[in-house]
Homo-oligomer: A and B are copies of this chain.
Amino acid sequence: MKILDCTLRDGGYYTNWDFDNDLVKVYFESFNHLPIDFLEIGYKAFAENYYKGEFYYLPLFLIKKIKSISNKNLAILLNGKDLFESNIEDLLLPCVGLIDLVRVAIDPKDLNKSLTLLKRIKSLGFKVALNVMYMSKWKTMKSFLTDLPLVNETCDFFYMVDSYGSVYPEDVKEITQTVKSILSIPLGFHGHNNLEMALVNSLTALEYGVEIIDSTVTGMGRGAGNLKTELILTHLSSKGLLEFDFNYLSNLVDKFSQLQKLHNWGTNLPYMVSGSNSLPQKDVMEWITKRFYSLNSIVEALQNQKSNLLDKPRVERFKPENKFENVLLIGGGNSVQQHFEAIRSFVYTNKSSITIVHASSTNAYLFKDLDFIPQYFCLVGNEGHRLERVYDNSPFKGICILPPPPRKLGIYKPEIAKDKIFEIEQSTINHPINDTHTILAFEISSILEAKNVYLVGYDGYPKESITSKMHEMFIENQNIFNLVKNRFKLISLLPTLYDLKITSLYSLIK
């Protein structure tokens, strides 16, 4: 049996494929003393629009540096969907003589069209592995199984990938037996750990004839992560199948454990739910690592995905009868409470032409009694729960607005507002995420045909201490302001750290 460690490649999803030099040094030095056969050092890819670091592009100087400090066979992974016969040599010619194994990851439906590519890669002198995703779905894919024998002539390894982290040992056994009856080349298995099945699945795969398995240090890898290198090595050592110096292993694990404290990879309830229901973990990882969603709303979103509730419009579209020239947009900042008397006075002064849009419900409690003008509430993430807490037993007279479908992330709809919930028909602001508080607030303002949007409570966070998530939200909000500033006249009425035009609230009231 062989082991391939793909920590830098798969762990890069958490670090944008940049790793500290010291970590990289410890990684390669430690593995020089550990019984691992291949190290997959990264992707090799063409330029993309988002920033990704050195282990995503693997420039030649980096490969050469690695080659000079590592005594292992080196592998890289290519994304099959980005490859064409015309561009494959641009990508791979610099790797000849340095990289031993080129792996190509594909969707099973692309099996047939990938074959000529694989031959071309092999003709350059590399060993070639085909990593086919979604193994749990193969048995229902007739044409995939029909074409599978062709892989015998084109590849050195055929890898079964448990993309969702959803398979159990009995599935591994069945799929391995099926594939083994078709293919004569060595098989591989790449397991995910959503259900903590990565080790037992890998052992089952080996038992039924798989010859190479993937692992990563501390399981670092997209979403719930992988079989842990230290777990498979410890297991094999305790069974007397391998010998090595645990000092090298624990030094290595120590380094990555420190990094794990920062990024928190590993399984948790949302990954368990996505795994056990064969749902993609890409969204889950985005929700967990980047944004403010509660575990609850993520789990609910996954339950929705499971039930295919995504695209079904379940509420009426938002088509207001009245339009308003002015919107007072309320953020979650402390300044709203501090300046509330003045805000109330401003609203009263403009009551014939103004309405209120609550981006966050944090400050909504202050406005409960202002029932002489309409109030709109952005229903994203946790806001439904928050609204229930604010209104408790008092009557709710506002209108709740949902982001446009498909709404991947489940949104809690509060009982108190049940006949007052509407949805935006479609996004009009071109932003990668359409369900943030601020985007939704501007979509509402657009539909209300507002010309002026007055902002309060967009303080930009206090200076003393902010989390990195708050910092990210700040940047996201600023980008949104920049996107809509030609559509509305944006005016902050209170001090703000955002780059916004300011007119003091106190200059506008008597």
Q: Report the minimum CB–CB distance from A266 to chain B (whole Å).
A: 8
A257 proximal to B (CB < 8 A):
yes
Q: Are B246 and A273 in contact, with the CB atoms below 8 A?
A: yes
A199 — which chain B residues lie within 8 A by C-beta?
195-197
What 9 pairs between A and B have smallest CB-CB spacing? A238-B276, A250-B295, A234-B272, A196-B196, A200-B200, A246-B299, A250-B296, A250-B299, A253-B269
Chain B nearest Cβ from A249, distance in angstroms: 7
- Pick the most buried of A250, A254, A303: most chain B CB atoms within 10 A of its CB: A250
Chain B nearest CB, measured from A207 CB (Å):
10
Chain B's closest residue to A267 (CB) is: B231
**How many A residues have CB within 8 A of the partner chain?**
37
Q: Mark A266-289, 1 if CB is under 8 A from B, else 0.
A: 001100110011000000000000
Output the least CB separation between A503 and chain B (Å).
Answer: 42
Q: List 18 A-B contacts (CB under 8 A).
A: A168-B200, A193-B196, A195-B235, A196-B199, A230-B272, A234-B269, A234-B272, A238-B273, A238-B276, A238-B277, A246-B273, A246-B296, A246-B303, A247-B296, A247-B299, A253-B268, A253-B295, A254-B295
Interface residues of A (CB under 8 A from B): 168-169, 193, 195-200, 228, 230-231, 234-235, 237-238, 246-247, 249-251, 253-254, 257, 268-269, 272-273, 276-277, 294-296, 298-300, 303
**Contact, CB under 8 Å: B253 / A257:** no
Contact between chains at A234 and B296 (CB < 8 Å): no
Contact yes or no, B276 A235, CB < 8 A: yes
Specify the main secondary structure of chain A where it touches its partner.
helix
User: Which residues in B have their C-beta under 8 angstroms from that of A269?
Assistant: 230, 234, 249-250, 253
In Å, the complex CA distance between A200 and B247 comes to 30
Residues of B contacting A277 in the complex (Cβ-Cβ under 8 angstroms): 238
Q: Is the CB of B300 within 8 A of A196?
A: no
Q: A193-B196, A199-B196, A246-B273 are in contact. Are A296 and B251 (CB under 8 A)?
A: yes
